[in-house]
A and B are shown apart, each in its own frame.
Chain A
Amino acid sequence: MSLYQTLYYMALAGGMAGLFSWGITALLSGTILATRENWVADLVAASTLGLLIGALTVAFSDKWSGSRVVPRYVFAGAGIGLVAGILSGLAMVPVTKALGETQPFLTRLLSWMLAGGLIGLGLGLRWVMANKMRVVHACIGGLLGGAIGGALFHVLGSRVPDLTQALGFVLIGVGICFGVTLAPILLRDGILKFVSSGDARAQAKFGRSGKEWEIQQGDSYQMGSESRDLSKTTFSVGVQVFIPDAAIAPLHAIVFGQEGRFYVARHRDVNNQAGLARYVLRVRGKTVTTSQELRDGDDILIGRTAIKFISKRAQ
């Protein structure tokens, strides 16, 4: 799946999460929340939004990265989203108290932005090991989605009841997921592009869509065949460049950017005699024993999979 396809589907996944959370909120509001405090309604709305966006985005992103959907990650994403939602719902209380009467539009805008920003921040934490900036980008995406959703809800709320609120929830979900996905695309310094693979699974997954992985300076990305369900992490992504190739080690290589240049190196698990003999890692036809600088257009052969490195400078 290309970068823009990932962006498109992730945004839609966020939109779906927003729609479902609106549905649940509407259902709850009609029943158990009918006679409670207003802030409880906000708290429930923000929490539901965070929970569903957290769960769905993790599930979808894992599915599209070529790996399996692991319940552990989905629950962790839902939990983090829920906590972020609760925090944003609680943060709305002082904002409403301070500005509610004098600046109603600003209050609503700020409340929605708070919800989007905090949920985005929580979800962005997933990629903090690979790309610290993605946390900020997810937060900014959530803020933007929240601002658009909140403004729409405030301005059109009375004219098209239900629809504008639902659209607001959809937009906030789209905004968060868009932010999580778009920022690395915009700020990428290079791309690893799937070319072909001798392993039918990898070829079937990535061959037709031309899978691309965006890479940034200052970050390091693990390449390997370790599926999500075998990873020992609780929430963060273990292998960022996952290739289901039997000839690729679970943790095979690391691509990292330093001082404007990119390098590929063997992972320490395969950087020994046995690893050198069994697991192929070649750049421009030469076996990589420790690390090798990548230049624009370089072919990387990892296992039986060919990947092309494209530098943004050349683009």
Chain B
Amino acid sequence: MRRMLWLLMPGLLLAQPGKMQFAEPVKMLSCEPASTVPCFRMKLNVVDASGAPRNVQLPSAAELAGAIKVHVGGQDLKPFWATAAGDSTQKVRGRAVLVIVDNSGSMLRKLATGQTRWDAALQAVSVFLDKFEEGSDRVAIVPFESHLVQARISSAQFARTRADAVSQLRSLPLPEEKNNTALYSAAVYGIETLQAALPRMQQAGEDQLETMVILLTDGNNEVLKGDDLGLLAGPSGQDQAAESVRQSGIPVVAIGFSDTGGLDEVALKRISTKYYLASDFDGLQRILAFTRTFLNNRLTAAFASPFPDRASLAGQNLPISAELRLPDGSVVKSDEFLWTAPQMGVPVYAGKCSPDELKAVMVAQPVSAGWTSIIRPVGVFCGLGLLLVVLWFWVPRLIWPEQFIGAMPNLAGSKWASQTRIQNGVIQGRPAPPGFQSGPAGVNMAPRGVGDSTVVNPAALNDFGATRLANREVKPPK
């Protein structure tokens, strides 16, 4: 069964060529025990050229994976599993959204309609909650200004029913003139709160929740004397907030509720993954609907790594892009996402495949690395170890032979013991010690007798191997 995902602004959006946008960083997952091959999971939204959700008819659930093509480092792959969050034929994936509403003093300013920004914001969020799907949605609404910022945001309770969510909305404190705007800290605390709440929600049976932080504000970051201590401010605070957002991988939608030029749009863009500007209630309502759509029409696809094991992914920077063939034959493509392995070490898993993904892996039977992933590193270690042993013990004999076998005038070039020829008890190339010379090698003195004793002759060309018999006068060998 096909499902139409009709979004807002249909007239405008249908006319525009669409594209896919990565909603989250691509993650490497462990699909063990179903497969030893690492898997990747990507989440995408179909958007128009301006970044707003696009109204598209997706392929059916059964055909969705087949309609997606993934390009990974020059290779074309097919996902073994794909789902659309809004597909009614699939198990509906849970959504967890944290809405952080600015209740600084400036929210009391009136719009052209006579309504204050605060009232308009509450009304828009209320409309947003109208689409609350009990059983799937988890929504928490918290205020922020410049006092008790961390305490208020971290106390967020993710409501499981619309009534609870509306109750949270209604209980928000009214803005006060003395309230400033700790925007950067609010973004950081919001991410931390959602990240902390996720394991609890997932323990409660929610698997693979779609997440989002919505930051609704009408002002710039403003922290003054009398506000909470340690609030982020200035360029360094902005950098810290931006880095925190980037590192988290959680989509953060910043909604500026002001006139153009009325707030620091550059900062809002930096501390969010998507930024929208609304100047009135309608705009705000429309943008909040967008954000919901981003959660609803999110495509999730999992594909097996083109490399058989994690070790093979070490040192890799894989450009990943995807394209989706729609039922009408048109194709929407994504931008490129660069997946990067650690700089020195072996890549590590960001998590584990969901049960659905594991089932799909078992059906698709991606290539298993098998024994090669164990034998190869052992072989590499042994091979390189052997090379080093050869370099240690054998090569020096070629470079500095005199230190190993001494100078053998008649055996120049001989490197091995096996090449040493012993004839008639005398090593060829090395004169026999005095008193031991005999046979064809030439006798230049009487054979060694019982009373003879050997003297090491250190004066003989510094060669301690040279000897003479104590009671005989001989010239040291040269």
Contacts and interface: CB of A to CB of B under 8 A. Distances in A.
A19 interface: yes
A164 B311 CA distance: 11
A45 B347 CA distance: 12
Given A9-B392, A34-B348, A111-B343, A101 B316 contact: no
Interface stretch (A120-128, A203-211, A232-240, A271-279): A203-211
Interface string A286-299: 00000000000000
A95 B343 CA distance: 10
Given A40-B348, A157-B315, A161-B312, A101 B343 contact: no
Contacts of B314: 153, 157, 161-162, 165
A263 interface: no
B416 interface: no
A105 B310 CA distance: 19
Interface stretch (A25-33, A183-191, A222-230): A25-33
Nearest to A96: B343
A41 to B, nearest CB: 3
Contacts of A162: 311-312, 314, 376-377, 380
A49 B307 CA distance: 26
B315 A164 contact: yes
B345 A42 contact: yes
B6 interface: no
B344 A42 contact: yes
A101 B30 contact: no
**Most chain-B Cβ atoms within 10 A of its Cβ — which of A25, A157, A203?**
A157
Given A8-B396, A35-B348, A198-B458, A167 B312 contact: no
Contacts of B243: 97
B441 interface: no
Nearest to A153: B315
Interface residues of A, number: 64
A29 B345 contact: yes
A12 interface: yes
B343 A107 contact: yes
B348 A19 contact: no
A101 B396 contact: no
B345 A19 contact: no
B348 A108 contact: no
Q: Is the interface of B mostly helix, strand, loop or mixed?
A: mixed
Contacts of A45: 342, 344-345
A25 B346 CA distance: 8
A218 interface: no
B344 A26 contact: no
A165 B315 contact: yes
Contacts, number: 152
Nearest to B29: A35
B351 A158 contact: no
A285 to B, nearest CB: 18
A41 B312 CA distance: 15
A45 B338 CA distance: 23
B317 interface: yes
Given A35-B349, A108-B315, A165-B315, A46 B388 contact: no
B310 A29 contact: yes
Interface string A108-125: 100110010000000000
Nearest to B312: A161
Contact of B458 (A95, A196, A209): A196
A74 interface: no
A15 interface: yes
Contacts of B307: 158, 161
A29 B315 contact: no
Interface string B294-328: 00000000000001011110111100000000000
Contact of B392 (A12, A34, A170, A198): A12
B371 interface: no
A72 B89 CA distance: 68
A124 to B, nearest CB: 21
Interface string A74-97: 000000000000000100100111
B248 to A, nearest CB: 12
Interface string B377-412: 100110011001001100010011011000000000
Nearest to A40: B348
Contacts of A208: 402-403
Nearest to B309: A161
Interface of A: 2, 5, 8-9, 12, 15-16, 19, 22-23, 25-26, 29-30, 33-42, 44-46, 49, 89, 92, 95-97, 100-101, 104-105, 107-108, 111-112, 115, 150, 153-154, 157-158, 161-168, 170, 195-196, 198, 203-204, 207-209
10 contacts: A8-B396, A26-B346, A29-B311, A36-B348, A39-B342, A41-B345, A115-B344, A157-B315, A166-B384, A196-B462
Interface of B: 30, 73, 243, 246-247, 307, 309-312, 314-317, 338, 340-352, 376-377, 380-381, 384-385, 388, 391-392, 396, 399-400, 402-403, 458, 462, 464
* 8 A-B pairs closest in CB distance: A157-B315, A41-B345, A111-B343, A29-B346, A161-B312, A104-B317, A45-B344, A45-B345
Given A9-B396, A19-B381, 6 more contacts: A15-B388, A19-B385, A38-B345, A115-B344, A158-B316, A162-B376
